[in-house]
Amino acid sequence: MKKLNIAIILIASLFTAAAMASGNHAGGHGHDEATVGEAGKAADVTRTVEVQMLDTMRFTPASFAVKQGETIKFVVKNTGKLKHEFVLGTKKDLDEHYEVMKKFPEMEHADDNMLSVAPGQTGEMIWKFSKAGAVNVACLHPGHYDAGMKASIQVAAVKKAAKGQAAKNEDGHAHEH
Ligand SMILES: [Cu+2]
């Protein structure tokens, strides 16, 4: 019985390793979404955050804070005359994606973590920030990212979140005497 459990764990970790490896080799267009959160559900939205995208290659606000576990509805308005986009990711993801965008400027892309907004239009994205840490936002249109069209989101850790997980961590670390 115990051997069987170990075998299952081994197989599971092999699959995980394979999944991670393939994610890293997705031709620079893969997204490590697990590190920045996941697409959220409308029913779970706790707050609406309005963001403007300007032709001066800026987002306003350019920095905001959320709490871990929060599901935010971003209402993103493009007040400029150029097309802009709102892409969430780690800095590494965004940098890699931007290189692809520079090579293929006309490339159409769509994903849960990105929103492309035409001039004068408003778009919406619902995102759940499941992990604490920093999340970056960028407009990856060629030239825009270089010009500083980026923003940052600080995701504050919530200690009381996910009681089950906290209990497990305490057991696992065994730092109680
Ligand atoms: Cu832009």
Averaged pLDDT, groups of 10, the chain, 177 residues long: 43 40 39 75 97 98 96 98 96 94 82 95 97 95 96 91 49 45
pLDDT given for residue 24 in this prediction = 36
How many whole angstroms from 126 Cα to the centroid of ligand 1? Answer: 20
Other CB atoms within 10 A of residue 114 CB: 20
Predicted local distance difference test score (pLDDT) of residue 54: 98
Q: How many Å lie between the centroid of ligand 1 and the Cα of residue 51?
A: 13
CATH 2.60.40.420 fits 33-159, yes or no: yes
> Can you give the pLDDT at residue 27?
39
The residue whose two tokens read 């010009």 is 147
Predicted local confidence at residue 14, as pLDDT: 39
Evaluate whether 49 touches 76 at the Cβ level (below 8 Å): no
Report the Cα 123 to chain-centroid distance in Å. Answer: 17
- The pLDDT value given to residue 176: 43
pLDDT recorded at residue 164: 53
94-to-32, 53, 86, 99, 154 alpha-carbon distances in Å: 10, 17, 11, 9, 16
